[in-house]
């Protein structure tokens, strides 16, 4: 039996679609304008501007970007936890690294809060050491 995704999980999942398609303009549809990013990337704007930057970097630096949801669970009060894997090929300059042409596989975990149809808070952890090793080995 197939069940429809809850609207909360659908919004949380749409976040990954933005990265996969490079849709920077879609940030305003998915994230609240006063987004709280509890662990922004150092030196990058926090909140919604930080999300625009990160999606742009992934768009410009990688092709064939695809997120696979490994685990996802809706929690009380609009929270959703998602563990994901991103695969892509590093074909452009991104995050200060020149294009390597190498395939990458990166994992991460996000905990987001969805209120009124938009992500209002996010905690996220990406295995950046894994990414750095794949791009510079």
Rounded to 5°, angle at Cα 111 from 105 and 116: 125
Q: Where are the domains of the chain?
A: 7-136
**Spatial contact of 88 and 68, defined as CB atoms under 8 Å apart:** no
Residue from 108, 107, 86, 88 nearest 99 by CA: 88
Phi-psi region of 125 (alpha: psi -120 to 50; beta: other; left: phi over 0): beta
Residue 1, pLDDT score: 39
Identify the three-state secondary structure at position 109.
Answer: strand
Residue 5, pLDDT score: 65
Residue 136, pLDDT score: 85
Residue 45, pLDDT score: 78
| Topology, domain 7-136 | Nuclear Transport Factor 2; Chain: A, (3.10.450)
Residue 43, pLDDT score: 85
**Residue 137's CB: how many other CB atoms inside 10 A?**
7
**Spatial contact of 115 and 78, defined as CB atoms under 8 Å apart:** yes
**Residue 67's CB: how many other CB atoms inside 10 A?**
20
* pLDDT tens-place values along the chain, 137 residues long: 344 568 999 999 999 999 999 999 999 999 999 999 998 888 887 899 999 999 999 999 999 999 999 999 999 999 999 999 999 999 999 888 899 999 999 999 999 999 999 999 999 999 989 998 998 87
**pTM exceeds 0.95 for this model:** no
């Amino acid at each position: 039996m197939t069940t429809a995704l809850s609207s909360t999980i659908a919004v949380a999942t749409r976040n990954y679609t933005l990265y996969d398609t490079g849709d920077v303009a879609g940030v305003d549809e998915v994230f609240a304008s006063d987004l709280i990013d509890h662990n922004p990337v150092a030196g990058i704007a926090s909140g919604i501007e930080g999300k625009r930057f990160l999606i742009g970097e992934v768009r410009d630096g990688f092709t064939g970007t695809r997120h696979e949801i490994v685990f996802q669970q809706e929690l009380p009060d609009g929270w959703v936890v998602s563990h994901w894997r991103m695969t892509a090929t590093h074909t452009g300059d991104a995050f200060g690294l020149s294009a390597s042409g190498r395939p990458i596989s990166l994992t991460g975990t996000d905990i987001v809060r969805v209120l009124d149809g938009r992500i209002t808070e996010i905690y996220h952890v990406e295995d950046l050491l894994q990414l750095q090793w794949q791009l510079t080995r």
